[in-house]
């Protein structure tokens, strides 16, 4: 007969339940942080898309030697919006605007349409205008202002500042605009 005693070296059910509880507590603490990071990235992504579109609009104006316009899009992305709301909820359109009237006329080429903005994102132009137009010299005289990008709770805000010279820069903390 063999009288060797075997020692049980496995995990008990209580040990496993403690580990699962600790893991769930850690995940519960991390989820709000993850959703904040996702919202922040979404705001930054739309900000960067708008910045690229504005720079592209300016480039079109300079290279074509004529006016180019960045306007608030209507719901279908087929024309500039005519509502007087400061919110740009339907995206934007970039087009050559030969007569600088802010309307897409026959013969004016549309270069870019973005009408796929996330519904929980707010964009506000401080000048309460429906468009930003650049002259053939790249100036945006009369369109200077702040364009703010926020999440729906307004906990995240990224604002760009447009000068009369057409230059765009990121707003400093004391310059940040409002989205409502």
Domain boundaries, the chain: 14-66+116-175
Average pLDDT over residues 42-63: 95
* Span 46-65, average pLDDT: 96
Identify the DSSP state of 10.
Answer: S
Q: What is the pLDDT of residues 62-92, one digit of tens each?
A: 999 999 999 999 888 889 988 777 678 888 9
**Lowest-confidence segment of 9-18, 27-36, 148-157, 161-170 by average pLDDT:** 27-36
Average pLDDT on 40-56 reads 94
What pLDDT score was predicted for residue 57? 97
Three-state SS at 152: coil
Q: What confidence tens digit (pLDDT) does each residue in 145-159 have?
A: 999 998 888 788 899
Report the pLDDT value the prediction gives residue 20, as an integer from 0 to 100.
Answer: 94
The whole-number pLDDT of residue 135 equals: 96
pTM above 0.75, yes or no: yes
By residue count, the chain amounts to: 180
Write down the pLDDT at residue 3.
66
Residue linked to tokens 């930003």: 132
Fold of 14-66+116-175: minor pseudopilin epsh fold (3.55.40)
Q: What is the mean pLDDT of residues 121-125?
A: 87
Q: Rounded to whole angstroms, how far apart are CA atoms 77 and 107? A: 17
pLDDT value of residue 137:
96
Distance CA 100, CA 159 (A): 26
Mean pLDDT of the chain: 88
Classify the C-alpha dihedral 26-28-32-37 as positive or negative: positive
Assign 161 a pLDDT band (cuts: 50, 70, 90). very high
Q: 3-class SS at 131?
A: strand
Q: What is the pLDDT of residue 1?
A: 56
Q: Look at residue 180 in the predicted model and tell me its pLDDT.
A: 62
| Confidence category of residue 178, pLDDT binned at 50, 70, 90 | confident
């Amino acid at each position: 007969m063999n009288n060797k005693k075997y020692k049980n070296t496995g995990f008990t059910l209580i040990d496993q339940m403690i580990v699962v509880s600790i893991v769930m507590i850690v995940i519960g603490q991390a989820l709000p942080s993850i959703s904040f990071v996702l919202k922040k990235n979404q705001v930054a992504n739309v900000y960067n898309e708008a910045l690229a579109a504005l720079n592209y609009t300016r480039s079109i104006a300079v290279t074509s030697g004529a006016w180019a316009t960045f306007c608030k899009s209507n719901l279908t992305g087929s024309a500039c919006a005519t509502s007087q709301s400061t919110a740009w909820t339907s995206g934007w359109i970039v087009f050559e605007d030969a007569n600088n009237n802010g309307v897409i006329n026959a013969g004016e080429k549309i270069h870019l349409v973005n009408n796929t903005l996330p519904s929980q994102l707010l964009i506000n132009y401080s000048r309460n205008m429906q468009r930003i137009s650049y002259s053939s010299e790249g100036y945006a005289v009369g369109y200077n202002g702040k364009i703010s990008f926020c999440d729906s709770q307004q906990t995240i805000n990224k604002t760009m500042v447009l000068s009369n010279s057409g230059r765009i820069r990121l707003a400093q903390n004391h310059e940040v605009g409002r989205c409502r």
